[in-house]
Chains A and B, each alone.
Chain A
Amino acid sequence: MIDKFKAKFVEESLDNVNDLEEALFALENDMQSKDLIERIFRAMHSLKGGGAMFGFNHLSDFTHHLENIFDKVRNSKIEVTPDLISLTFSAVDEIKYLLEKGDLTAKDDLDEYNRMMGQIQNFLQGGGPGNQESISASDDNTPAGDSGEKTYLISFIPGEDLLQNGTNPLFLLDDLHALGKGHSIVYTHKIPSFENIESENNYCLWQIILSTNESVNEIKDVFIFVEDECDLSVEELGNGGFEMTPAVEKFIENARNSNTLIKVSDLKVLLNKNETEGKKTEQGQENTETDQGRKKSQLKEHKISSIRVASRKIDELVNLVSELVTTQAQLSVYAEKKGDNDILELAENVQKLSRQLRDNAFEISLIPMQSELMRFQRLVRDLSKELGKEIEFVIEGGDIELDKNIIEHLTDPLLHILRNSVDHGIEKPDERVAAGKSPKGNIYFKAYHAGASVLIEVTDDGRGIDVESIRAKAVSKGMIEENEELSHKEILNLIFLSGFSTRDTVSGVSGRGVGMDVVRKKISEIRGEVTIDSEVGQGTTVTLRLPLTLSIIDGLLVKIGENQYVVPIASIEKIFALDKSQLKDSFNRVVIIDNEQLPYVDMREIFKEEVKESETPQMVLVRHEERRLGLMVDEVLGEHQTVVKPMGRYLTSHEVVSGASILGDGSISLVIDTNRVLQLTSTGKFRGKTKTSKE
């Protein structure tokens, strides 16, 4: 039955490993921190304990030794050194491997395991006398006792505070009787006079004559929990069983009355004398265990602050919510058409509920980036060591939450970007000094919210990208004409084209043909964007813009020409009604609103709708960072919870559309990607003409 908990154990252990790694990173910067050492120790401890329980014996063994090291660290017997941290880092990798594989069988794996184990043991021995207790902590190693029945006299003299720790001495007596045939004698002479009784104290002592096949160890085992709180002796009376005879009974009676404990020697004499007498008095105490209605699994009160759910279930929930939202839109349309107040009211309620449900479902599917960040830190650390570079890696905004599907798609591109920064960006220390920088390079990883999206910036202060060399390369590859005029930014963006790699020599680290083009492709698969900015000698910044969630947004339904479109509400700042005269006077597509000049675009032109004079055009003002732009539409229809469906392969190249949505009446509307519109407007280009982003 343990097996079914295995998967959970692995999952939980990965969290522990993560925590361990995180603490290790912190420890690297603050080698004295007791808290961190304690945290590391605890993580190892859980791994060890669980590992043994769930059948990960190698894991358990391995972490056991590791734990020993940190136990010594904890007790200040070993100092934290960079060596120790490095060793622990590699050990963490091994732990991950062990979690994945379970107990090892392949020879290669075992060799590696033993090698790591050897290193750890060396460390242990180097760092002080190794007191290695064995991990096999099973305490049921009953030595095969002498076969045959023996009789013992057990004297159990507990202290007065026996009861205070929740021990019930009668249970102990029961347990003894369960081992064989026994006779208990209780001495009550220590009970004080009534007024002096402390009701919570124990004043009794016992002697038990027990005939059993079990060993002395087994008998003592009964008292294992209380052995420090009592005087206990187990003395052998002789082979064979014990029979109660009148003489023995009398002997016991005397002992009780005189309040003197029976001595083994006295009883022995008596028993031997009785050997010939054949009288039997059975004294067996059968424990009639009351059936407490066990076996009945009952519903219990349960209060746990968080639960784990299979991600598949969440995907399904989000899907269902999407469907619900679409259906709800249909209901609203129908209610509107019917004009029946009851149905209208119902429809409104359903709308309200489905919106709350939607928000909730999405919140559930968001997870913090934290867990992935560990891998990034690891990459930067390991790679910089390998390349002989000194790098300070600073993370900001690790607690930003993103849809888990997005995070999954994000890891590889980000790893690649970071690899680039470490390998190509940051210079070697001497180069940096020669360039007048500090020998230690910096890489900043920053994540933050911006409207409906999350921005992730990876900035390094390395050598930057030489625009001219990109240009030369692009020309040589025939990607651009030799005399083509391109802005700084446009040239930089060339590196996102497939088949572009700025380093001629392929190093082992990056530039393995997987270039920035793959990064861009991956990011656009999750409806994100990637941009790059760089100054030679100053450094490079790669920015990823990602949607918060993938599938449902709050949208504003607008009419452009004869068709309906959706503008994401999160990017809208204001909506204005326009006067035709304002447009007439406008020059160069700038309109003055609230005493401010605003550029605008006529959406009818962009979507090639029939351009005609509209009587009451409306202006939807959208914003992206500092840039603002008016989108001129024919009519604003209202809010719409938009379930964004991907456009399919053929239409993904449509630049200003990020998806499509089914409206309540069954018709389809396109979702406008306002950021793209802004971007393309600012470069003065619309679709088709942009060489920089489309091949």
Chain B
Amino acid sequence: MAKTVLIVDDSESIREVVNFTLQNEGYDVLVGVDGDDALQFLDGRPIDIIITDLHMPNMDGLELIRRVREMDDYKHIPILFLTTESQAAKKMEAKQAGATGWIIKPFVPAKLLSAISRVLR
């Protein structure tokens, strides 16, 4: 069965690129525009991985990660976050919130896929 990816980003163009790339690879893709919007998908349905931006309105990525880690259904699924900041602080913060790994923007589709394959097979 195809794996399901939930992508969360407030930037439409990023969402499109990620969505396009993943669908081409045969993933099922769910799309949220911010943390708040993403929560609606976390209703118990199978989701194999979450890829989220950190800076978002309404609910940012950190908060989203924290929330997901509190949900029984999704406690242990891999969560990758997108970041441009190469600063360690932000990464640490996200990791402490419960993120599995990260993808550094800008990325090419191949990089995105390899990051996913690191945590999901």
Residue numbers of A with Cβ under 8 A of B are 1-2, 5, 8-9, 12, 42, 45-46, 48-50, 52-54, 60, 133, 137-140, 163-168, 171, 174-175, 200, 224-225, 228-229, 289, 292-298, 300-305, 308
Complex Cα–Cα for A28 and B102 (A): 36
B1-30 Cβ-contact flags toward A at 8 Å (1 or 0): 111000000111110110010011111111
Is the beta-carbon distance between B12 and A8 smaller than 8 angstroms? yes
| 88-105 of chain B: CB within 8 A of chain A | 92, 95, 98-102, 104-105
Distance (whole angstroms) from the CB of B109 to the closest CB of chain A: 7
Is the beta-carbon distance between A48 and B84 smaller than 8 angstroms? yes
Flag whether B33 is at the interface (Cβ < 8 A). Answer: yes
- Which of these, B2, B37, B104, B119, contacts A138 with CB under 8 Å? B104
In the bound complex, residues from chain B placing their C-beta under 8 Å from that of A171 are 118-119, 121
In the bound complex, residues from chain B placing their C-beta under 8 Å from that of A302 are 30-31
In the bound complex, residues from chain B placing their C-beta under 8 Å from that of A298 are 2, 23, 26, 28
16 A-B pairs whose Cβ atoms sit less than 8 Å apart in the complex: A9-B13, A12-B12, A45-B55, A46-B10, A48-B84, A50-B13, A50-B14, A137-B105, A165-B100, A293-B26, A297-B24, A298-B26, A301-B28, A303-B31, A303-B41, A304-B33
In the bound complex, residues from chain A placing their C-beta under 8 Å from that of B69 are 164-165
In the bound complex, residues from chain B placing their C-beta under 8 Å from that of A304 are 31, 33
Q: Which of B82, B102, B106 has the most CB of A within 10 A?
A: B106
Is the beta-carbon distance between B11 and A12 smaller than 8 angstroms? yes
In the bound complex, residues from chain B placing their C-beta under 8 Å from that of A9 are 13
Q: A133-B87, A293-B26, A304-B31 are in contact. List 10 more A-B contacts (CB 8 A).
A: A5-B20, A8-B12, A12-B13, A49-B84, A52-B106, A53-B14, A53-B17, A200-B76, A292-B1, A295-B24
Is the beta-carbon distance between A165 and B84 smaller than 8 angstroms? no
What are the nearest 10 A-B pairs in CB distance?
A294-B26, A225-B101, A52-B106, A166-B78, A9-B13, A166-B100, A53-B106, A49-B105, A49-B84, A8-B13
In the bound complex, residues from chain B placing their C-beta under 8 Å from that of A60 are 106
Is the beta-carbon distance between A54 and B28 smaller than 8 angstroms? no
Complex Cα–Cα for A3 and B118 (A): 27
Complex Cα–Cα for A52 and B95 (A): 25
Closest to A287 in B: B121
Closest to A295 in B: B26
Distance (whole angstroms) from the CB of B25 to the closest CB of chain A: 5
Distance (whole angstroms) from the CB of B96 to the closest CB of chain A: 9
Complex Cα–Cα for A304 and B11 (A): 12
Complex Cα–Cα for A294 and B99 (A): 26
Complex Cα–Cα for A303 and B23 (A): 15
In the bound complex, residues from chain A placing their C-beta under 8 Å from that of B23 are 297-298, 300
Is the beta-carbon distance between A305 and B84 smaller than 8 angstroms? no
